[in-house]
């Protein structure tokens, strides 16, 4: 039975009404703005909330987590390794950012919990060091308040359920620290659920995973299904009372990458009310990049077998191979193809953006930095997306999901207390 929110139907009806009036306008209307101007206006009125940015782990890897060594005002101008700074976020029309607190899935237990806490600390120090431009946010109201203050709302999302170390108590404390979504797995299957890129152990969501999902609903923490197996997606949609998100995924029908969302799940998302935050990851956007990566891995294996004990020669020959076989270009038009498919399959009210900037060694043409969001929305405008639709994609849809999760949490907290777990 559909649980689709009545407010969602009102939004859809409004979009359809606007669409009808727009389509009735003469095609050669002289006062029609350019796609670029159309995108700028949309993002000025409804600044983008980006679902996923891996700046914190990159800062940890490159600078040992020393925030004072990061030029976060204009760092992309002086160091091309960075994709994110205040100037680029402003130029890109970003008004809200989920900062990922990712730790490697090779960590588990107390080590994973400690690393997650350190990542939260890094994010909060970035926010504190840039208080003129960033505002820590934990709710839909906080996001709206930041917009009125001219600041970028900064939220926290934990990437991978190994962050809680198998403990519902730790999950609750992460919520208290400001974490507002958690990706159930990263690349490895864990006690919560099967991952997309590892051997299945639970046929989807485990019994403990069901407890985790229900407790996340009670807390008001969004359940993120990027990185999980398709069976896990099915199971969570059957269990979750709140809308779910895919914080950085695209359409499986366009590119059959395991991060992406298949059509049967997209159709279930209509009843759930959740959103796919379409990614800007070349491997999830362009099949040719996946084929290139497979060829690179094969060449690396060949060279390693050919020159055992000669890592420098292997590295040099692999570098030569890369120069002779450049990575296929991935464009923002290909990103828009994924958005088009999701819109056609389940509706525009289930689309948002989750870039995964700083999270991949490959880059999309036009998205060297966060400033490129403007061009993505210009591409959508060129395809005929209306202002109302662009505003849903940029922030309206994810704000709705956050509010619905908050409302469901308020109800569940009255009905039941914390899901208690016997400690060992």
Q: How many domains does the chain have?
A: 2
- Residue 118 inside a domain? The answer is yes
Q: In the listed set 312, 329, 346, which residue is the last one of a domain according to the structure?
A: 329
pLDDT of res. 19: 38
Give yes or no: residues 161 and 298 share one domain: no
Q: Are 41 and 386 in contact (CB under 8 A)?
A: no
- With bands split at pLDDT 50, 70 and 90, how would you rate the model's confidence at 1? very low
CATH of the domain at 353: 3.20.20.140
pLDDT of res. 26: 38
Give yes or no: residues 176 and 304 share one domain: no
Look at residue 398 and tell me whether its pLDDT is greater than 70: yes
Look at residue 136 and tell me whether its pLDDT is greater than 70: yes
- Residue 141 inside a domain? The answer is yes
Q: In the listed set 297, 329, 361, which residue is the last one of a domain according to the structure?
A: 329
Cα separations (Å) of 54 from 307, 359, 388, 395?
A: 35, 5, 29, 20
CA distance linking residue 90 with residue 44, whole number of Å? 10
Give yes or no: residues 336 and 318 share one domain: no
Look at residue 9 and tell me whether its pLDDT is greater than 50: no
Give yes or no: residues 116 and 60 share one domain: yes
- Residue 339 inside a domain? The answer is yes
Q: What are the beta bridge partners of residue 75?
A: none
Sorted by sequence, the CB contacts under 8 Å of residue 133 that are 6+ apart come out as 86, 90, 151, 152
- Give the tens place of pLDDT for each residue, 256-281: 999 999 999 999 999 999 999 999 99
Give yes or no: residues 186 and 325 share one domain: no
Give yes or no: residues 299 and 154 share one domain: no
Give yes or no: residues 339 and 400 share one domain: yes
Provide the pairing of β-strand 245-249 with 134-136: unpaired
Q: How many CB atoms lie within 10 A of CB 226?
A: 30
- Residue 80 inside a domain? The answer is yes
Q: What are the beta bridge partners of residue 135?
A: 153
- Residue 22 inside a domain? The answer is no
- Residue 165 inside a domain? The answer is yes
Give yes or no: residues 278 and 302 share one domain: no
- Give the tens place of pLDDT for each residue, 18-53: 333 333 333 443 467 899 999 999 999 999 999 999
- Give the tens place of pLDDT for each residue, 291-330: 999 999 999 999 999 999 999 999 999 999 999 999 999 9
Give yes or no: residues 110 and 233 share one domain: yes
pLDDT of res. 106: 93
Give yes or no: residues 311 and 410 share one domain: no
Sorted by sequence, the CB contacts under 8 Å of residue 395 that are 6+ apart come out as 46, 47, 48, 49, 95, 96, 143, 352
Active-site residues: which are they?
52, 54, 159, 186, 227, 248, 356
Q: Which of 27-41, 189-203, 224-238 has the lowest mean pLDDT?
A: 27-41
Domain range enclosing 309: 289-329
Angle of helix 287-306 versus helix 311-324 axis, rounded to 10: 150
Burial 43-70 (b: 16+ CB within 10 A, else e): beebbbbbbbbbbbbbbbeeeebebeeb
- Give the tens place of pLDDT for each residue, 343-392: 999 999 999 999 999 999 899 999 999 999 999 999 999 999 999 999 99
CB neighbour class for 9 (10 Å; exposed up to 12, middle 13-18, buried from 19):
exposed
CA distance linking residue 297 with residue 345, whole number of Å? 34
Q: In the listed set 329, 344, 361, which residue is the last one of a domain according to the structure?
A: 329
- Give the tens place of pLDDT for each residue, 153-180: 999 999 999 999 999 999 999 999 999 9
Give yes or no: residues 140 and 256 share one domain: yes
Look at residue 5 and tell me whether its pLDDT is greater than 80: no
Rounded mean pLDDT of 67-95? 95
- pTM of the predicted structure, to 2 decimals: 0.91
CA distance linking residue 143 with residue 145, whole number of Å? 5
Half-sphere exposure of 174 toward its Cβ, with a 13 Å CA cutoff? 38
- Residue 350 inside a domain? The answer is yes
Mean of the per-residue pLDDT values of the chain: 93
pLDDT of res. 16: 43
- Residue 423 inside a domain? The answer is no
Give yes or no: residues 194 and 322 share one domain: no
Rounded mean pLDDT of 199-220? 98
CA distance linking residue 206 with residue 236, whole number of Å? 10
């Amino acid at each position: 039975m559909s649980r689709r929110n009545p407010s969602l139907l009102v939004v859809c009806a409004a979009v359809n009404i606007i669409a009808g009036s727009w389509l009735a306008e003469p095609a050669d209307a002289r006062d029609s703005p350019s796609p670029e101007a159309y995108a700028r206006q949309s993002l000025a009125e409804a600044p983008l909330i980006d679902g996923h940015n891996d700046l914190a782990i990159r800062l940890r890897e490159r600078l040992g987590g020393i925030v004072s060594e990061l030029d976060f005002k204009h760092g992309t101008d002086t160091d091309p390794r960075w994709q994110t700074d205040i100037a680029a976020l402003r130029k890109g029309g970003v008004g809200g950012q989920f900062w990922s607190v990712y730790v490697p899935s090779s960590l588990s237990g107390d080590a994973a919990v400690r690393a997650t806490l350190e990542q939260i600390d890094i994010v909060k120090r970035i926010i504190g060091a840039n208080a003129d431009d960033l505002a820590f946010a934990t709710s839909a109201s906080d996001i709206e308040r930041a917009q009125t203050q001219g600041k970028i709302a900064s939220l926290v999302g934990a990437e991978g359920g190994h962050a809680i170390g198998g403990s519902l108590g730790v999950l609750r404390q992460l919520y208290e620290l400001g974490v507002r979504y958690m990706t159930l797995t990263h690349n490895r299957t864990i006690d919560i659920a099967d991952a997309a890129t590892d051997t299945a152990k639970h046929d989807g969501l485990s019994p403990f995973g069901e407890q985790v999902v229900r407790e996340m609903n009670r807390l008001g923490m969004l359940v993120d299904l990027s990185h999980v197996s398709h069976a896990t997606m099915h199971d969570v949609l059957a269990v979750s009372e709140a809308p779910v998100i895919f914080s950085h995924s695209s359409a499986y029908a366009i590119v059959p990458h395991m991060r992406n969302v298949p059509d049967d799940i997209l159709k279930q998302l209509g009843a759930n009310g959740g959103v796919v935050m379409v990614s800007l990851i070349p491997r999830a956007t362009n099949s040719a990049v996946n084929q290139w990566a497979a060829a690179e891995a094969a060449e690396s294996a060949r060279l390693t077998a050919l020159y055992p004990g000669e890592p420098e020669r292997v590295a040099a020959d692999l570098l030569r191979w890369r120069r002779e076989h450049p990575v296929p270009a991935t464009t923002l038009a290909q990103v828009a193809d994924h958005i088009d498919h999701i819109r056609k399959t389940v509706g525009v009210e289930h689309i948002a953006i989750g870039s995964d900037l700083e999270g991949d060694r490959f880059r999309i043409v036009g998205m060297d930095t966060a400033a490129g969001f403007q061009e993505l929305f210009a591409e959508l405008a060129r395809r005929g997306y209306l202002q109302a639709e662009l505003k849903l994609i940029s922030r309206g849809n994810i704000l709705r999901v956050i509010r619905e999760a908050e409302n469901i949490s308020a109800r569940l907290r009255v009905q039941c207390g914390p899901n208690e777990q016997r400690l060992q």
